Amino acid sequence: MLDPNLLRNEPEKVATGLARRHFMLDVDALKALDQQRKILQIQMEEQRNARNEASREIAQARRQGLDTSAMQAAAGQYGESIKALEQSLETVLQQWETLVSSLPNLPQDSVPEGQDETDNVVLRQWGTPREFSFTAKDHVDLGEALGILDFAAGARLAGARFVVLRGLGARLERALAQFMLDLHVQTHAYTEIAPPFLANADSLFGTGQLPKFEDDLFALRDDPYYLIPTAEVPLTNLLRGEIVTTLPQKFCAYTPCFRREAGAYGRDTRGMIRQHQFDKVELVQVVRPEDSAAALEALTGHAEKVLQLLELPYRVMALCTGDMGFSAARTYDLEVWLPGQNQYREISSCSNFESFQARRLQLRYRGEDGKPQLAHTLNGSGLAIGRTLVALLENHQQADGTVLIPEALRPYMGGMDAIRA
């Protein structure tokens, strides 16, 4: 959530920043609501002062032995007036909250201008896409031929955008998760968390999924819970409402993730690229504001290390203003090369949210003056396991349909060097 003081004192500045994201802020509506708030608060203060004065006059009259019934009746009207004003103020504050909670974060000045993903900027590239001496297959054909991916069974069990992993496919997914967790915990110094896979509305509001993106969530019908769309939700909410004594805090978790993909109808219907359920290792950092820029670079590097060890070519993209997520102030996407699609595809998104989430979460730390201040939050995929499995199958396939296992992953596959039919 944006700073309410900035919204009240410099709404035009906020509007200019949001315009870079192609979001038009209704400054007049914002100002009108704030003006109503001020008027109602002044009127309430006047009525309370008048009631207090009336109470003093009644007390003085009683001490003089006078009849105060008429004075009491008149004073009672102040209470009714104050109650009505309080109700009006509550309505205005709710309208303000609804408007403000719908506003995305302001992009950092360094974020490239642009409309959509075509305007994102390549920052760097690692590895060279392999040139095959045979016709490369995509992961669907490879996985089905190897007997490790069963899309027909997934459709029977649940429907479209689900898959069953069999035998070495299931083991490969488990191995990737364990490999990623060990790397981030042992080398990158994250604390591993095993969070709930359900979250309440307060948690999803805190990280920015609610109210704007409710259509993308799976909600339980008769209970106030949602299936988590990412471990970012429980990990960031671990510190909700707290004044943290030690920063930075670094968490990672392996969880399933659940998304309706409401805005992706008809996209990536083949294979594992865009599914309703997928596994992911998530990275979250909570840091001091002055450290968040460096933390984003470090967190992105942690996700990159996974791809490097798995020998998967990728590139790092700076997302433009028109392609960033709702809560982000700056985002880097890692895009892995997929031979089966002959293009780079997103496998991790690493974002600095600055104080946007922390304000919703009331996640604070004490500054040098001892006063509570809002922390900065960051998160990134480290990595999306399904897409990593896809990239591994497609990049390390051989002419006979065998898939080589990268050296770094072999200890997690019992020393196996390849998956064979």
Full 3-state SS string of 86-146:
HHHHHHHHHHHHHHHHCCCCCCCCCCCCCCCHHHCEEEEEECCCCCCCCCCCCHHHHHHHH
Residue stretches of the annotated binding site:
230-232, 259-261, 282, 346-349, 379, 381
Based on the residue annotation, tell me whether 267 is a catalytic residue of this protein.
Answer: no
Strand residues in 209-363 grouped as ranges (E)? 226-227, 243-244, 249-258, 277-287, 314-318, 330-338, 343-354
Q: Which amino acid is at 37?
A: R
Selecting among 203, 327, 349, 355, the annotated active-site residue is: 349
Selecting among 259, 330, 345, 359, the annotated active-site residue is: 259
Q: Would you state the pLDDT for residue 143?
A: 98
Element (H, E) at 381: strand 376-384
Selecting among 304, 360, 387, 394, the annotated active-site residue is: 387
Measured in whole angstroms, how far is the alpha carbon of residue 330 from the centre of its chain? 12
* Closest alpha carbon to 393 in 338, 351, 325, 356: 338
- Terminal Cα distance for the chain, rounded: 52
Based on the residue annotation, tell me whether 161 is a catalytic residue of this protein.
Answer: no
Based on the residue annotation, tell me whether 354 is a catalytic residue of this protein.
Answer: no
CB neighbour class for 179 (10 Å; exposed up to 12, middle 13-18, buried from 19): buried
* Closest alpha carbon to 256 in 225, 233, 224: 233
User: Which residue numbers in the chain have pLDDT < 50?
Assistant: none
Q: What is the DSSP string of 190-241?
A: PEE----SEE-HHHHHHHT-TTTTGGGS-B-SSSS-EE-SSTHHHHHHTTTT
Element (H, E) at 77: helix 69-101
Angle at 222 between CA 96 and CA 154, to 5 degrees: 110
Based on the residue annotation, tell me whether 171 is a catalytic residue of this protein.
Answer: no
Question: Using CA atoms, how far apart are residues 229 and 173, in angstroms rounded to an integer?
Answer: 19
Residue stretches of the annotated binding site for ATP:
259-261, 346-349
Domains belonging to the chain, first-starting first, are 26-102 (1.10.287.40), 117-419 (3.30.930.10)
Question: Using CA atoms, how far apart are residues 391 and 315, in angstroms rounded to an integer?
Answer: 13
Residue stretches of the annotated binding site for L-serine:
230-232, 259, 282, 379, 381
Selecting among 274, 288, 315, 410, the annotated active-site residue is: 274
Listed in sequence order, the residues at least 6 apart from 149 whose beta carbon sits closer than 8 Å to its beta carbon are 139, 140, 142, 143, 163, 164, 165, 166, 169, 272
Question: Using CA atoms, how far apart are residues 394 and 310, in angstroms rounded to an integer?
Answer: 12
> Could you read off the pLDDT of 23-40 as tens digits, one per residue?
999 999 999 999 999 999
Q: Would you state the pLDDT for residue 19?
A: 98
Phi, psi at 121, each rounded to 5°: -115, 130
Question: Using CA atoms, how far apart are residues 30 and 323, in angstroms rounded to an integer?
Answer: 25
Question: Using CA atoms, how far apart are residues 202 and 361, in angstroms rounded to an integer?
Answer: 9
Question: Using CA atoms, how far apart are residues 31 and 95, in angstroms rounded to an integer?
Answer: 12
Based on the residue annotation, tell me whether 346 is a catalytic residue of this protein.
Answer: yes
Q: Would you state the pLDDT for residue 215?
A: 93
Q: Would you state the pLDDT for residue 263?
A: 64
* Closest alpha carbon to 382 in 298, 306, 317: 306
Q: Would you state the pLDDT for residue 264?
A: 65
Q: Would you state the pLDDT for residue 262?
A: 67
**Would the CA dihedral through 224, 225, 226, 231 be positive or negative?**
positive
Q: Would you state the pLDDT for residue 160?
A: 93
Q: Would you state the pLDDT for residue 74?
A: 82
Question: Using CA atoms, how far apart are residues 355 and 341, in angstroms rounded to an integer?
Answer: 38
Q: Would you state the pLDDT for residue 321?
A: 98
